[in-house]
Structure 1
Amino acid sequence: MSRLAAGIWVRAYMTRLGLENIPAYVLQKGDATAGAVWVKVARLDGNADLWERQYDLAADARRWVCTMTDAESAIDARIARETGRDRDLWVIELESREGRSLLDDPSLA
């Protein structure tokens, strides 16, 4: 299966979030072709979730996984460490009290 370029995926995801009235911002612009994408969901109460796309060997597919739920400051620190090492990484932040990210939609895999 061919992969969609990261920059195209990010633009489509941002459009989709806008259609659902979920505020979102690109915090770190990564490699347009092959950069990984992380999504931070700020819950507006000081806490946040961090989502990453991972490969699922059993399903032979990539899927979104919430890899961290913590204080927003702890997630920001992890993002800062990773972007310091990986300049190709895209980071998107969205704001949703309910934690809605739309990443459970199979069309976003």
Structure 2
Amino acid sequence: MPRLTTEFWVEAYLRRLRLADIAHYLIRRGDAQAGAVMVKLATLDGRAMAWERAYDPASGGRRWITLAEGEEALVDAALARARARDPDLWLIEIEDRQGRSLLEEEGLSGD
């Protein structure tokens, strides 16, 4: 089965966020075919969390792993370091007091 492009996956994810009425922003557009994806969730109380989509050797697919969690400034610093290392990175930011990212939903949790 052919793999989805990163751009296609990101567009589908942004559409799901819109349909759930969750505020979100595409902060950085990466490589359309195979760029890495990171998602930041700001809960609007000074705290945030960031995840990156990584290869899972056990399943052969992808899964979300926590990149950083805590004070929003520290999460932003971790994301800035990641952006400096990878020019092909996609970055999506979510603002949701309830802490919803939808990343656990079917079709978003991995590939």
Q: 2:33 & 2:57 partners in 1: Cα distance?
A: 23
2:66 corresponding residue in structure 1: 66
Q: 1:53 & 1:18 partners in 2: Cα distance?
A: 21
Q: 1:93 & 1:87 partners in 2: Cα distance?
A: 17
Q: 1:56 & 1:87 partners in 2: Cα distance?
A: 22
1:57 corresponding residue in structure 2: 57
Aligned 1:1-109 pairs, distance under 5 A? 1-108=1-108, 109=110
TM score, norm. by length of structure 2: 0.90
How many residue pairs get matched?
Answer: 109
Tell me by how many angstroms 1:61 deviates: 2.1
Does the 8 Å CA contact 2:67/2:78 hold for their aligned counterparts?
no
Misfit runs of 4+, over 4 Å: none
Q: CA RMSD in A?
A: 1.3
Tell me by how many angstroms 1:13 deviates: 0.5
Q: 2:56 & 2:86 partners in 1: Cα distance?
A: 22
TM score, norm. by length of structure 1: 0.92
> Percent of counterpart pairs with the same letter?
50
Tell me by how many angstroms 1:70 deviates: 1.3
Secondary structure of residue in 1 paired with 2:13: helix
Does the 8 Å CA contact 2:39/2:50 hold for their aligned counterparts?
yes
Tell me by how many angstroms 1:58 deviates: 2.3
Tell me by how many angstroms 1:84 deviates: 1.7
5+ unaligned residues in a row in structure 1: which ranges? Answer: none
5+ unaligned residues in a row in structure 2: which ranges? Answer: none
